[in-house]
Structure 1
Amino acid sequence: MRELIVREFITLDGVIESPETWQFPYLSEDVAEQIQKDVHSAESMLLGRATYEIFAASWPLRTRNEFGVADKLNSEPKYIVTSSLDTVMWNNSRLIKGNIEMEIRKLKQQPGGAIQIVGSAMLVQTLMNICLIDELQLMVHPVVVGHGKRLFDDGITSSGLNLIEAKTFSSGVVLLRYKLEAARTTV
């Protein structure tokens, strides 16, 4: 069964919105290497509509292969969870509409490697609440921004987490990897 892995840049106060405004001062060489490794370890990407629209407006236009990931992101299969879009233009993108739980369960049971989710806070919360996420990988940045979309907002169901890795980078960023207890026993 394919694993569903959430990968987020996150501030100390839990914000994931607009990482371009706070993440770059902490983008050390070792952080960039980790990002490259993570992106290349997944076979496909699952995105919510808003994150898809941001990525689709940016990544296809990149002329240099930023951190070695532009070609990968542009070529890999992308699954977009939406109730409002009828078409998607980014290469290798497919819409997921209707019964999200059933569609994601089917996707996880197909042959293949890991599926990563980036951004997409509402989608992450929905999938956590129905126990479909296998792993959280949080790159915690040593900054407090005080406002913005938080990864864990009101309405998230309590989930048990098992720490499987904690790694500190030269810039003070800490990678925390957790397995979700409910995903292991439910899916």
Structure 2
Amino acid sequence: MTYDAEATKQRIFAAAAVEFAEHGLAGARIERIAAGARANKQAIYLYFGSKEKLFGAVVAAKLQEICHVVDLDPRSLPDMVGVLFDWYQEHPELVRLLLWEALESGDGPLQGEQTRADAYRDNVRNMAAAGLTDERQARDWLFTILGLVAWNFSVPQLRRLVLDEPDPAKALARRRAVVVDLARTLTANAPVDD
């Protein structure tokens, strides 16, 4: 049987995503990642360099996944916010990874920060080019929209307490409708060029 380096990297990556989402960077263990990936620890260091670089690669990849799903065009923003909401609901690991990253890094530098910042700048430029008055407004919209959606999955205990809804599925369905409606209101008041 031949060794498949790419398959090993993919297994390591998948196991790392689960481990980091569950335990964060500090709590994650290379031994558990290796066991989950059916690989040895040396392969992890060979392919990714360090636990920190692996964490950064996992977060960046999860963010890239969502970028391929959602195009935040102001002309179809409510629909895209619904898609974003659904994606977060189906992929709760991204919110967990971002929360761990925030807790462990604070406002300090991040692995792959420049690449991620450039991707957000591209999103902002695309939103502004689609008709928002300027890039500053587009930045504010993007950050607000991400917060409106992600908050629903960041604090499920607060969602349960505030909404006082015993059925989590009904609570999320209501929240999705509210967030999409807020996006509709936001775009209704925006100066979008045709």
Give the structure-2-normalised TM-score. 0.25
Higher helix content, 1 or 2: 2
Give the structure-1-normalised TM-score. 0.26
Greater relative contact order, per chain length (Cα 8 Å cut-off, separation 6+): 1
Please tell me whether Structure 1 or Structure 2 has the larger radius of gyration of its CA atoms: 2
Higher strand content, 1 or 2: 1
